[in-house]
Structure formats: C-alpha cells, structure tokens
A and B are shown apart, each in its own frame.
Chain A
C-alpha cells in the first residue's frame, strides 16, 4: 500500500449515511488534494439533496458527478440517484444505467471495483453504516488491488450489516470510528 497525496478516496454508505458523512467530510481541510467519490443509496426519484447539504458544511467543493468529467483534486463527487458511477482508466468519471447491483443503483460495488482498476494501490476505500451488503465485493477489490480498506466500526455504526459484510469479505480492513476515519483521511490528502 502506498498512501500518499496522490491517493483517491471512495466512500460508500447507506442507512444512516447523512450523519456519518457529516462527521467525516466537513473535517477535510482546505487544500486537501485527493478527489473523493461517494455513493449513497438514495431513492431513485429523489434529487440528490446531499450535495447542497454537504456543500454548506464542507470546505471542499461538493458536486454531483457528471459523465466524462475529469477528476479534480480536492473535489467531493456524489453519484447521481438512479445511475451507477464508475471511474475510467484515464481518471474520468462515467455514469451507467445498467441494472441495479445488490438492488442498488448507484451501487458501491460498481464504484469501488472500477476505482480499484483505475487506481490500484493509490486508492482508499471506506465503508460506512448501511443495512445491506453492497460494498463488500467492492472493498475486497480495493484490497486485492493493493489499496487501503477502512470500515466504520460496527459498534458505532447506525446500521451494522454493511460494515459486517465488508469486514467478512476483507478481514484485514482497518476498523475505525468516524472521528478516526476523519483524521486519517485529513492527513492523507493534505498539501
């Protein structure tokens, strides 16, 4: 593993996501250099309310990911509702309307697996609270590509099935509380 300022961060969360993200993303410092990609399970008909909510609290730019957009340092991208978000090898973003994975679109597995392909060891994957098993296969792909895997401590998580499933698939993942995840991420992307 090779955690440097050239890293990219992918985060997946489901039930309880808003509170968890509010504990992590606003702590990222101005000058943070890693792009951050986030998949949260939201109902397909809902506009992504998380973007304006988090933009109001974060020092970094928060936006909805656009198709073919090039990743920029220190920008937080959210997958649009009802689309999968993927990363291409040339580090541009791609959307797809392929069928749901783990009953989810966007799916955490789809983002994490494509990001693991694109970034290999320069990737940090974070699985937060959630009530399903999406993200377990994705985090495993991150580990297999040599990246860093972090799972929110099930003792702290609002919903535990997602952290549990991720830990079962990737037993070597680091287990952290939200404040530890926040300081870990803040340290890795500082300019």
Chain B
C-alpha cells in the first residue's frame, strides 16, 4: 500500500525525536510504533501526529509523557516460568564455576525481571558474587525498577509464576505489603546497578556471563535487532549465555553463527568460543 499522510507524520516525528532529544525509534518495528503513537495522540489530546510533534519539539516536558507510550513494556515477575526453571537447572550450574559473575538485564523496564533474577540467584547462593546491570532507555521506568514497588493485585500472579519456576523460597519472604502495594526488599537490589543504556545508540560496557533480553527486540526492525545482538556478542564472555523471549530467535541475525543453541525450547543461547 502507498504511504499515507499518517505514516509520513510518524516518520517525521521519529526523526524529530532523534534530532532534538537523541531518542532513536527510527528502526523500531513500525506497526507497533504506529499503534503506540496513535494511542498517545488520542490520549494526550492532539488532533494529528504533526500536532504532537510540534508540542514535543517545543516543550521538553511532553517528552517523558510520550516516552511512556513509546517504551511501555508490560511484564510480570518470573514471566514464562519455564525460562527461569531452565536458568536454575541448566545455566546456573555453569555460572557456579566462576568466582564472580556479571548479569545484564537489557531493557529492564519496571524491573520485574531484575527482582526475579535476584531472587533466583539468592535461592541458588550466587547472589553475593554477582553484579547485576539493569538498563533501560526510559528514566521513569528505571526509577520504578529501582523502587521495586508493585501493585498488590499483581503479586498473586508473580507468586504463581515463582512457584512454577521451581522457586525454593516463598515470594512473600522478599516483600512488605502495605496500602495495596508490595515493596521488594533493598537486599534484592544491593548488587544491582540501574543505568540508562540504549541498545540502539550505546556500546559495550562490561563483560557479561549472562544477558537476559526478553521481548525487547521484537520491537526492533531487523537492522536494529542485528545491532543489539552484535552488542550482546561483544559483551558476553567466552561461553556466556544469552536468554531471549520465547518467540524470539537469532535465526534472522548475521551473528547467528557466533552462538550455539544451548536450550532451544527456552531460547537460551551460548556464545561459541572464542
């Protein structure tokens, strides 16, 4: 189909966001971006995407509100419990052989997976030798992740997932409930570094033993996916592990040959030597 005026407006807005604020969504999968921008336009009360662009260019206060639509990520603790079970049973035995560990949760959003991994590593006695890097491009999401406070009505699902993942403790050991909210213990983030990092524009920053980046790259186009996977390749230590979302794969990537399928069913890959 030929390009509509709205498609052109979206292209221009993404270019404007990049030029003005260096947030680069130009290589995000366009169909989802279009849904999100259409939603943002409606809820923020603009007649057109161009009107939204005008406002965000001239009013930096509009940027975080727009980012909330563009980067929204809905997750839950221990989402896909079998993934965490696989990490526990098959990946952690390898990690255990290292005296110190680095784990990167790339695109951590509001932190559900950060706390899930912290609990898993505590249960397996590896927490104290690990540094976790939790990164995202959205500063508000990072602040939420660092706060570790979730609505109490989500906890039942989190608890169910934790049990299904083979959890050895009770999730309630790790949070305090009050006023309809569950606040997770500081002890779960004492070894977590929360940081602004973009898979689109930033570079390798440490050597990792495990990278978990789930349901982040489905929002990228192939070019951008390939850049991110290259970044993971460059960040992983020899024989390091990469965990993706259950419907993601390295199949379409030029870096595919650098990885072995460690647990194909769970989309856990291992970097080949060297």
Binding site for B on A (CB under 8 A): 66-68, 80, 83, 86-89, 94-99, 110, 113-114, 117-120, 145
Say whether B73 contacts A87, CB under 8 Å: no
Residues of B within 8 A of A117 (CB): 1, 4, 31, 34
How far in angstroms is the closest Cβ of chain A from B76?
A: 10
Q: Within the complex, which residue of B4, B30, B35, B249 is in contact with A110, where a contact is CB–CB below 8 Å? A: B35
Residue of A nearest to B80 (CB): A82
Question: Is B178 part of the contact surface with A, judged by Cβ < 8 Å?
Answer: no
B222 CB contact (under 8 Å) in A68, A80, A120? A68
Q: A86-B31, A88-B29 are in contact. Are A97 and B249 (CB under 8 A)?
A: no
A-B pairs with beta carbons under 8 Å apart, 11 shown: A83-B247, A86-B29, A94-B29, A95-B218, A96-B29, A96-B32, A97-B245, A98-B32, A99-B72, A113-B35, A114-B35
**What is B's interface to A at a CB cutoff of 8 Å?**
1, 4, 7, 29-32, 34-36, 72-75, 215, 218-219, 222, 225, 245, 247-249, 252
- Neighbour of B32 across the interface among A94, A119, A120, A145, CB < 8 A: A94
Q: Is the pair A66, B247 in contact by a Cβ cutoff of 8 Å?
A: yes
If A86-B32, A86-B35 are given as contacts, then 14 extra A-B residue pairs at C-beta distance below 8 Å, sorted by A number, are A67-B248, A67-B249, A68-B222, A68-B225, A86-B31, A88-B30, A94-B32, A96-B32, A96-B219, A97-B73, A97-B245, A99-B72, A114-B34, A117-B34
Please give, as numbers and ranges, the residues of chain A lying within 8 Å of B245 by CB-CB distance. Answer: 97
State the Cβ distance, B71 to closest chain A Cβ, in Å: 11
A67 lies within 8 A of B31 (CB): no
> Chain A contacts of B218 at CB under 8 A?
67, 94-97
Q: Which residues of B contact A83 (CB under 8 A)?
A: 247
A52 to chain B, nearest CB (A): 16
Chain A contacts for B29, CB-based, 8 A:
86, 88, 94, 96
A145 CB to closest chain B CB, in angstroms?
Answer: 8
Chain A residue with Cβ nearest B222? A68
A67 to B249, CA, bound (A): 8
- When chains A and B are docked, how far (Å) is the Cα of A110 from the Cα of B38? 12
A78 to B107, CA, bound (A): 27
Whether A99 and B247, one on each chain, are in contact in the complex, defined by CB atoms closer than 8 angstroms, is: no
Rounded to whole angstroms, the CA-CA distance of A114 and B33 in the bound complex is 11
